[in-house]
Amino acid sequence: MAEAHQAVAFQFTITPEGIDLQLSYQALNQIYLSGVRSWKKRVSRIRNRVIKGVFPASPSSWLFVAIGILATMYMQSDPSMGLIAKIQQHLPLSLHVSLSAQGQTMVSALVFSTLLWLSLILALRFCLKLLLSYHQWMFEQHGRISNTTKVWVTLVRLFSSRKPLLYSYQTSLPHLPVPPIKDTLSRYLESVRPLLTDPEFKRMTDLANHFESNLGNRLQRYLKLKALWATNYVSDWWEEYIYLRSRSPIMVNSNYYGMDFLYVTPTPVQAARAGNTITALLLYRRKVNREELKPSRVPGTVIPLCAAQCERMFNTTRTPGTETDVLQHWQDSEFVAVYHKGRFFRLWVYRAGRLLSPRELEYQIQRILDDTSPPLPGEERLGALTAGDRIPWAQMRKQYFSSGVNRRSLDAIERAAFFITLDDEEQGMRGDDPAGNLDRYAKSLLHGKCYDRWFDKSFSIVIYKNGKSGLNAEHSWADAPTVAHLWEYTLATDAFHLGYTEDGHCKGEVDRSLPHPQRLVWDIPSEVQAQVCTSLAVAQALADDVDCHVFPFREFGKGRIKKCRISPDAFIQISLQLAYYRDRGGFCLTYEASMTRLFREGRTETVRSCSNQSCAFIKALETGEGEEQCRRLFRVASEKHQNLYRMAMTGAGIDRHLFCLYVVSKYLGVESPFLKEVLSEPWRLSTSQTPVQQMELFDLKNNPDYISLGGGFGPVADDGYGVSYIIVGEDMINFHVSSKHSCSETDSHRFGVQISNALQDIMALLSPDTKTSSSHKAAAQPQSKKLL
């Protein structure tokens, strides 16, 4: 193959006259430039380690400390109180011989300065950790800030005055605290009270009390021991037991998706869109590697969030195992894996140490699109192995992909920076049925054809025939906000920074001597092909059962909600409770994802949105109580929701603590009826907000059509709903609703209508002058009565 010959730097033959070398100077030059790039990265990493290691101080601060100590000694004063003399006595004998007394004093002073400087850094870091452990500011009312918080804000800003790198705050973030078991059980019982009858609640209370007085405190001691030893007492177990040990398909059940712009497709040229998207993603990777990204912060504050999830964003794959999967991460890959019409390709994105231009990447992608070679036997649907059950995939991988040509081709996919599918379909809001097309767009990103995505990759990009794009992300390595940050940057860089020519192609020049993308070669035996068919059947049944509905809510957005002095998230969550009550005729255990990234290696915590207060409001509204009473109850419910969210963010949640206690009980081999029942409760309404974190990248005032659709996920319970939403700008909220066709009691489109009506009815209640159709409640009532 031509690529193989170009990769050889030299060849030799033995002749009667000796050894005859045939050097390939082009290949040697490639090796030299790749080595230079590699060394530049190493130097950059060393530099960043030094800067992070001394944060919140700076490397140059050592010079100021040393000069200060030497200047003080020059003025015949000993700032070390005799320590410099002691250091001088313990200098190596060689220094005593080679240096004068003044030189020895100078060296001792520099050693003392370095030790003092390191001590000051540790003291500053300890102070910063103490400052970041203060969370009372979150619970103070707007406009009523205490003096303590004002002083705290000043100090945090002082410590944050230097320009930090992406991971600068990591060692200063506090550890996630283990809540008192009594507090967790009390909050749990409060959360389930509106869902249980009096006898059921008494039974659950007795179970909780028995657990606390017997097994609970023993498990708590082990958990506190882990919290003292580990960086985060939840995250490693959460990753392993919730994600990696699951043996069911990760497609739909775990992976989630992100969508393109709602109204705009920057170019209709598929190869061009792929070229710019690949470039934007690799520019983001470069920023992550160089730590040039600004640390994420709590919106509107200077409080940093943990950035640990960025470490495994690229070059990462979830590999299957019989008992548990493993996340594998490699150093920077210089290629991406591409799938098109049943063929897999390796596309090199660097040449001679430089990143290919967007135009060159478009050129290479077009070569793949123009390639008419047929798939090899068993190749077309090979990706179905990643969509089906995990154990058969683990067995096939171990037996048939651990050596030879299959191993090399699988390595090319798993070690790739990320995976790209060049889809032969068109998607987006288009044609005579824009709403239905959005639903099909969501299903395509969530599962595709069940074999044209590689669901094990940390994320897979999908570029459609009409230029629309999207992504599918594996969940174990990171949560949605981390992927959303990446996707925001990618969309903005693609549309506003890189741009396109008038005819829709990427900008820049093309080096037409680029080697062709490498076609991956497989030898798929009949046993693997049979398993591919089995896995595809499992995945297809799962995909066909998913009912997705995506709709933009344009009646109002956060701007109008904030005018009512209500948190937009609380407003939406209570509206979802009202919609569910009307749809199913009752309340249910509700999951809202909250982050715990205020703590080191923090991930998520559950906000149990269905509270006594929200239920009281909904019952009052649906039974026709007075508007003033309903408004009062709504504000109480809103405040309660905000408080629950703050508690979850600050480590005082319920579910992660109980989950870890359950894991400890399993390690000890003891059974807890209470924990077993708690962890088996179904989440029939699972919700999540996709945050907009980089609004400065999108100038919605001048580019109002560049609105993100956000993303979504599959239903958590077989008889429940999954709801994701993104608050875009001031006047729009996009919703993604999922459920299962196999459940006769759920319908994503019907629930979407209920959500829209609930939002408008609550706004009409808070703003009586708003004209809202009174038929909303009437339209919802028959369904509730029917289901009751």
Mark whether 475 is an active-site residue: yes
Q: How many CB atoms lie within 10 A of CB 741?
A: 12
Domain boundaries, the chain: 2-53, 59-136+149-159, 180-245+653-681, 252-546, 554-650+682-767
Sign of the alpha-carbon dihedral angle for 486, 647, 680, 321:
positive
Q: Tell me which long-range contacts 604-608 makes (C-beta under 8 A, separation of at least 24).
A: 604/479, 604/656, 605/648, 605/649, 605/651, 605/653, 605/655, 605/656, 606/648, 606/653, 606/654, 606/655, 606/656, 607/641, 607/644, 607/645, 607/648, 607/653, 608/191, 608/644, 608/654, 608/655
Question: What whole-number distance in Å separates Cα of residue 536 and Cα of residue 383?
Answer: 9
- In 3D space, the residue among 60, 56, 183 whose CA is nearest the CA of residue 130 turns out to be 56
pLDDT at 77: 81
User: Helices (DSSP H) in 546-626: which residue ranges?
Assistant: 558-563, 568-584, 612-622
Q: Which of 93, 115, 88 is nearest to 104 (CA)?
A: 88
| CA–CA distances in Å: residue 428 to residues 202, 333, 338, 752 | 51, 31, 22, 19
The alpha carbon dihedral of 605, 485, 504, 275 has a sign of: negative
pLDDT of res. 783: 36
In this structure, are residues 344 and 419 in contact, taking their beta carbons and an 8 Å threshold?
A: no
Q: How many residues are present in the chain?
A: 788
Cis peptide before 56 (omega within 30 of 0): yes
Residue from 117, 143, 149 nearest 131 by CA: 149
pLDDT of residue 18: 57
Quickly list DSSP for 618-649: HHHHHTT--HHHHHHHHHHHHHHHHHHHHHHH
pLDDT at 61 (0 to 100): 84
* 716: three-class secondary structure by DSSP: coil
Superfamily of domain 252-546: Choline/Carnitine o-acyltransferase, domain 2 (3.30.559.70)
Tell me the CATH number for domain 554-650+682-767.
3.30.559.10
CB 450 within 8 A of CB 540: yes
Q: Which of 447, 475, 549, 641 is catalytic?
A: 475
pLDDT of residue 772: 44
- Cα dihedral 258, 262, 267, 271 in deg (nearest 10): 20
CA dist., res. 167 & res. 308, Å (int): 8
CATH number of the structural domain 180-245+653-681: 1.10.275.20
Same fold, 180-245+653-681 and 252-546: no
* H or E segment and range at residue 47: helix 25-54
pLDDT at 331: 85
For the chain, count helices (H), then strands (E).
27, 20
pLDDT of the residue at 775: 42
Q: Give the SS3 label for residue 721.
A: strand
- What's the pLDDT at 144? 82
**What is the Cα–Cα distance from 170 to 704, expressed in whole angstroms?**
37
3-state secondary structure 49-118: HHHHHHCCCCCCHHHHHHHHHHHHHHCCCCCCCCHHHHHHHCCCHHHHHHCCHHHHHHHHHHHHHHHHHH
Phi, psi at residue 138, to the nearest 5°? -70, -25
Give whole-number Cα distances, 107 to 82, 118, 152, 431, 562, in Å. 15, 17, 40, 78, 62
Tokens of 236: 């490693």
- Alpha carbon distance 575, 719 (integer Å): 20
- Are the beta carbons of 483 and 294 closer than 8 angstroms? no
Which residues make beta-bridge pairs with 592?
Answer: 607, 687
Identify the pLDDT of residue 769.
62
pLDDT, averaged per 10 consecutive residues of the chain (788 residues), comes to 42 55 60 70 77 81 85 80 81 77 82 88 90 91 85 88 87 95 97 95 96 94 94 95 95 96 93 97 96 90 93 96 95 94 96 92 97 95 97 96 95 97 90 79 96 97 96 96 95 94 92 92 96 97 97 94 94 97 96 96 96 96 92 96 96 96 95 94 94 82 83 95 94 95 96 97 83 43 32
**Measuring CA to CA, which residue among 316, 305, 553, 291 is closest to residue 438?**
553
Cα angle value 467/469/471 (rounded, 5°): 160
